[in-house]
Amino acid sequence: MTPRLSNQMEKFYKFPDPPELAVQLRTYSVQRWPTMNHEWRKNKLASILRMKARRLASYWYAEESLSPRVDELEAILALLKLPEEVIERENLNELQALKERVARLEALLAQAGALDLGEQVDGGS
């Protein structure tokens, strides 16, 4: 093995094996989004990590054909090492945004009922 090739391989030693990384990804996503299904979690992780869904699936399932990229591995490990406080804060922010959307929908429905448009809304769908 040439010294140059050896140096290139050394940078991968600090990363977990693909099966271990897959377990870490799934564990993180279940803890982060406990009420969602795996398909949604994979899509959300792909969005956060700025990967295509198919590329993330290769990491998720630890596919043998996966050719890991250093920048992707670093991004995944950085995400997995987020402190619990950050994750909790992000979850609370997402919950608050959801509550606000529900409140807006309820206000729109109440307004439609007050204007006696309920029959038109029901008939239009």
pLDDT in tens, 49-84: 999 999 999 999 999 888 888 889 889 988 888 666
**Cα–Cα distance between 81 and 59 in angstroms, integer?**
17
- The more confidently predicted of residues 38 and 85 is 38
Residues 52 and 103 in one domain: no
Query: Domain tally for the chain?
Result: 2
In this predicted structure, what is the pLDDT of residue 59? Answer: 92
The answer on pLDDT for 25 being more than 50 is yes
Q: For 94-111, what is each residue's pLDDT tens digit? A: 888 889 999 999 999 888
Same domain, 34 and 14: yes
76 and 90 co-located in one domain:
no
Beta carbons within 10 angstroms of residue 70's beta carbon? 12
Tell me, yes or no, whether 10 and 59 share the same domain. Answer: yes
Shared domain check, 74 and 19: yes
Contacts of 70 (CB under 8 A, 6+ apart): 11, 12
Query: Do residue 74 and residue 97 come from a single domain?
Result: no
**Domain of residue 94, residue span:** 83-125
